[in-house]
Amino acid sequence: MITTQWVSDIASPILNISNLSFPKYKTPDTLYHYLQTHYPQVEEQLLQAISIQSDHTYVSIEDIVWESQRSCLQNMTLCRQHRFFPLFEGPSQVGILVDNPFNPIIDTPELANLPAKSIIPFTTTSSQLNQWFHQIHQSNQPYSILDQIMIDAHHSHATDIHFSETLTHIHIQSRIDGLMNPMQSLIKTDAPYLMNQIKVLSHMDLGVTPYPQDGHYHWKAGTTSIECRVSSIPTQFGEDIVFRLMTPDTAIKPLNKLGLSDDLYQAFSQTLLQPNGLILITGPTGSGKTTTLYAALEILRQKKDKTIITLEDPIERNIPGVRQSQINSKSNYTFSSGLKALLRQDPDIIMVGEIRDKETAQMALDAAYTGHLVLSTLHTNSIEMTLHRLASFDIDPFLIGHALRCIVTQNLVPKSCPHCNHSGCSECRFQGVLGRQLQAECLTIPEPIAISDYTEGTRLLFEKGQLTKSKWSNNDPAP
């Protein structure tokens, strides 16, 4: 428990006064206010010393990262009265800036009409807090560092943002057209604040740093809305955090606008007319598998006499007329357990976001064999590797031969920049490539095939199935 004596013991060496005692001040709050008022020249030293021995974080005004989309912002009169300013709000925590580390609202937020959530205090000097109040008064909507990063990433059509801590800096990069691009570097003293803000906004545990965490973050500015899948891992110098950026309100691209060749589009479209069977979309991470899945669902939902249910992690697009369910591993609602429950919902068409294990693969094939049309994805780079992956699950080859109807393997490859013909210019960020194009192949199996072993099965699937490859030009669109 923090007492006035504890505060006195910290202040004594800074003020160069031994056995410092202030008996008339009964609380740390009132004692610190006295020291702050009578010894302003050492206020910063006091705050830094207190932050070292407590859970408070000292920041200077240059370090402040403000979440402009916070919902907990009070009127400035209230902020000035209670000497605080709300910086960001998460589902269970609120970050505030104060000039007194023992401000009563830290333990009793309702005094300042703050949400009844855990308060994360960031301390600064009284002069800097006043400067911050003045800055907010001058401009009602200053952008935080995180806001600016999100705006820059959105304008450059980035798919991912990487925050990587080194010994002295946080390096921030974005992935554009499959390639990494530097955005900015922040000095390491910014790291605790920025990383904490991201973790709070992403529903992560702020106190957990030695273990990986997953979360999600919704960012909105004006009419722009971005869903972020967030992942953190411990590293040698702190943590690395990666955002996967998704825009849920973006219209789903029609299948015929994804860059598939006419032959491949026709082959895949015909497969979607099948009453049952397993359709797999495969490819590496970031190859547009989900885009293709959603385009297929957009066609399938036109069948008004069919019930479509999906299992997704996360739900990346809202599809009218489709019942979409979100996986939650923390509640043990996984693809395998979710698929068991989903099959009791009387679906005609099932979409499973990803097959990750034997149990899910077995149930997906069983459902396809017993009359359902099942669509899913696998992280494999070719049709051959997809068949080997199914074999690795040790599933009866007979079931694969009778339930598998189609494998689409795809990837997104960079396109040469039309402005500089691959030599590098400002339009392509001097990388020679601008945009990506879809490269794909499709194996359709229109009729069940009797398979007794995997070696024979691979040969028979290619022999009796129909293999179609995309023929694309440099100007084809891509997901």
Mean pLDDT, range 363-381, rounded to an integer: 96
Per-residue pLDDT reduced to its tens digit, 133-165: 777 665 544 456 788 788 888 888 899 999 999
| CA angle in degrees (0–180, nearest 5) for 411-416-419 | 145
Confidence at residue 142, expressed as pLDDT on a 0 to 100 scale: 43
Most confident of 138-152, 189-203, 437-451, 463-477: 437-451
Confidence band (pLDDT; 50, 70, 90) for 12? confident
CB atoms near residue 318 (< 10 Å): 10
pLDDT of residue 249 exceeding 80: no
Confidence at residue 310, expressed as pLDDT on a 0 to 100 scale: 97
- 377: β partners: 281
Residue predicted with more confidence, 80 or 266? 266
For strands 93-98 and 84-89, give the pairing.
antiparallel
Confidence at residue 71, expressed as pLDDT on a 0 to 100 scale: 40
pLDDT of residue 414 exceeding 80: yes
| CA gap 9, 18 in Å, rounded | 9
DSSP string, 158-174: -SEEEEEE-SSEEEEEE
The crossing angle, in degrees rounded to 10, of helices 4-15 and 43-52 is 130
| CA gap 349, 223 in Å, rounded | 33
pLDDT of residue 477 exceeding 80: no
Mean pLDDT, range 218-246, rounded to an integer: 88
Confidence at residue 212, expressed as pLDDT on a 0 to 100 scale: 92
Coil, strand or helix: which one is 86?
strand
Per-residue pLDDT reduced to its tens digit, 165-220: 999 899 999 999 888 989 888 887 766 678 888 888 888 887 777 889 998 888 87
For strands 118-123 and 93-98, give the pairing.
parallel
| CA gap 130, 58 in Å, rounded | 16
Look up residue 300 and give its amino acid. L
pLDDT of residue 235 exceeding 80: yes
Mean pLDDT, range 418-430, rounded to an integer: 83
| Residue position matching structure tokens 């499973």 | 352
The pair phi, psi for residue 346, each rounded to 5°, is 60, 55
Confidence at residue 191, expressed as pLDDT on a 0 to 100 scale: 60
Distance set, CA 58 to CA 53, 192, 208 (Å):
11, 10, 20
Confidence band (pLDDT; 50, 70, 90) for 382? very high
Confidence band (pLDDT; 50, 70, 90) for 54? confident
The pair phi, psi for residue 60, each rounded to 5°, is -95, 165
Burial class (CB in 10 A: 0-12, 13-18, 19+), 115: middle
Confidence at residue 270, expressed as pLDDT on a 0 to 100 scale: 94
pLDDT of residue 14 exceeding 90: no
| CA gap 258, 459 in Å, rounded | 30
Write down all domains in the chain, each with its CATH number in brackets: 4-138 (3.30.300.160), 145-246 (3.30.450.90), 255-469 (3.40.50.300)
| CA gap 266, 195 in Å, rounded | 48
Confidence at residue 36, expressed as pLDDT on a 0 to 100 scale: 87
Confidence at residue 479, expressed as pLDDT on a 0 to 100 scale: 43
pLDDT of residue 248 exceeding 70: no
Q: Which of 332, 372, 380 is nearest to 356 (CA)?
A: 380
SS3 for 243-306 is EEEECCCCCCCCHHHCCCCHHHHHHHHHHCCCCCEEEEEECCCCCCHHHHHHHHHHHHCCCCCC
| CA gap 216, 380 in Å, rounded | 26
Confidence at residue 473, expressed as pLDDT on a 0 to 100 scale: 40
DSSP string, 356-367: -SHHHHHHHHHH
| Residue position matching structure tokens 């440099």 | 474
Distance set, CA 202 to CA 199, 217, 386, 455 (Å):
5, 5, 34, 46
The pair phi, psi for residue 70, each rounded to 5°, is -60, 150
pLDDT of residue 475 exceeding 50: no
Look up residue 246 and give its amino acid. M
Encoded tokens for 330: 């923390």
| Residue position matching structure tokens 């693809």 | 335
Confidence band (pLDDT; 50, 70, 90) for 72? very low
- 176: β partners: 179
Confidence at residue 474, expressed as pLDDT on a 0 to 100 scale: 40
Query: Is the Cβ–Cβ distance between 226 and 154 less than 8 Å?
Result: yes
| CA gap 353, 40 in Å, rounded | 59
Per-residue pLDDT reduced to its tens digit, 267-306: 999 999 999 999 999 999 889 999 999 999 999 999 889 9
Confidence at residue 63, expressed as pLDDT on a 0 to 100 scale: 67
Confidence at residue 312, expressed as pLDDT on a 0 to 100 scale: 93
Q: Which of 23, 17, 21, 18 is nearest to 8 (CA)?
A: 21
Percent of the chain with pLDDT over 90: 43
pLDDT of residue 46 exceeding 60: yes
